[in-house]
């Protein structure tokens, strides 16, 4: 589980990142990023629409996304990140979700140079 300090919860924070941040996408995910000067770590917001499925499906996708960020916790620069799941994500297993998410995060350049 990611600690509270790593989460974006407020709607106003989400809206600010949507408006001022940069976005990159692949078929399964859209990732919005906004530099974060105040904190020394990243913050993560996750959005999974009800159109993707019932609560079980949505929570499975969110767990897989959170797990991926937990694995790469040390490798991510201090930045605000919002991940939006798209329709194809609902048919993927955890490893496929992680591979797809890593792909889009590399495009977004959120990793330190080590990765």
Q: Are 69 and 111 in contact (CB under 8 A)?
A: no
pTM of this structure: 0.91
pLDDT of residue 37: 80
Q: What is the DSSP string of 47-71?
A: E--GGG-SHHHHHHHHHHHHHHHHH
Dihedral of alpha carbons 104, 58, 32, 64, sign: negative
For the chain, domains (ranges, CATH) are 4-107 (3.30.230.10)
Q: Could you say which DSSP state residue 96 is in?
A: H
Over residues 78-95, the pLDDT tens digits come to 999 999 999 999 999 999
Locate 46 and state its tokens: 């996750």
Low-confidence ranges of the chain (pLDDT < 70): 1, 114-115
């Amino acid at each position: 589980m990611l600690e509270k300090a790593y989460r974006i919860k407020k709607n106003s924070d989400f809206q600010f990142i949507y408006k001022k941040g940069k976005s990159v996408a692949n078929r399964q995910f859209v990732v919005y990023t906004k530099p974060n000067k105040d904190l020394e770590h990243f913050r993560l917001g996750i959005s999974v629409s009800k159109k993707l499925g019932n609560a079980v499906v949505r929570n499975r996708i969110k767990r897989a996304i959170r797990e991926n960020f937990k694995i790469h916790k040390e490798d991510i620069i201090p930045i605000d990140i919002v991940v939006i799941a798209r329709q194809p994500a609902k048919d993927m297993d955890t490893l496929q979700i992680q591979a797809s998410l890593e792909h889009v995060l590399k495009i977004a350049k959120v990793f330190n140079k080590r990765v």
